[in-house]
Amino acid sequence: MLWYMPKRELFIKRVYEIVNELKIPLIDERVYDKVGFSTSSAIAKVTFKFEEDESVIRGFLGLAEYFHTVVIKKGDQFFIPHASILFQLVSS
């Protein structure tokens, strides 16, 4: 019998693996009590959609590396807040 992992769990697992590989700080529900984002002050909200192409994850995490910031996990989504832009990574 083959072991099967749902697509969403595979997505989250792969993001964690790449975050560890790139040594990017990640804040998730194990660390924070509550998280919220105010998009009213954001000039832009950019959404990356993962559809089995790992380059989308790497491109998203590359922004955190470039801006020297953190990745925040909320539910099954990941966010990078930077200045007045909110980057979001979701699985299709």
Predicted confidence (pLDDT) at residue 31 exceeds the cutoff of 90: no
- 37-59 confidence digits (pLDDT tens): 776 777 999 999 999 889 999 99
Give the pLDDT mean for 57-62. Answer: 97
CB 8 within 8 A of CB 88: no
* 81/79 Cα distance (integer angstroms): 6
Q: Per-residue pLDDT for 1 more than 80?
A: no
Domain boundary assignment for the chain: 7-27+43-91
Give the range among 1-5, 27-31, 72-76 with minimum mean pLDDT.
1-5
**β-pairing verdict for 77-82 and 26-27:** unpaired
Cα 28 to Cα 2, 4, 10, 32, 73: the distances in Å are 30, 25, 17, 7, 5
pTM above 0.85, yes or no: yes
